[in-house]
Amino acid sequence: MTGIEVVPFSFEGREYQIRVVSDGATIYVRAFCDNKPANGYSYQVTIMTAFDLKKLMGFDAIKQLIKSAREDVEQKRWERFLEAIKT
């Protein structure tokens, strides 16, 4: 895996990173805290799909995945999901 980008952010007094890596065919995005996955969510898009979306529609799929990863942390979606499946 090759690192492409690391996007740091803070939330509720903790430091997080959104890491973007690629295996040459797919781009993977995941939130981390203390060098561990911050939640159970990961995001991916093939390089060809990301390229096509950017070229044909002006849509940056990677930036959108980064945004989704951050929002999932800030809105505590994983924690809410775990709570929901307990009941």
pLDDT surpasses 90 at 13: yes
Q: What digits encode the pLDDT tens for the residues 27-54?
A: 999 999 999 999 999 999 999 999 999 9
Q: Which residues contact 61 (CB under 8 A, 6 or more apart)?
A: 45, 49, 50, 53, 54
- For residues 76 and 87, what is the distance between their CA atoms, to the nearest angstrom? 18
pLDDT surpassing 90 at residue 3: no
Which residues of the chain form beta strands (DSSP E)? Answer: 2-11, 14-22, 26-33, 36-37, 43-46
Instruction: Indicate the average pLDDT of the chain.
Output: 96
pTM for this model (two decimals): 0.91
The angle at the Cα of 67, spanning 65 to 68, to the nearest 5 degrees, equals: 65
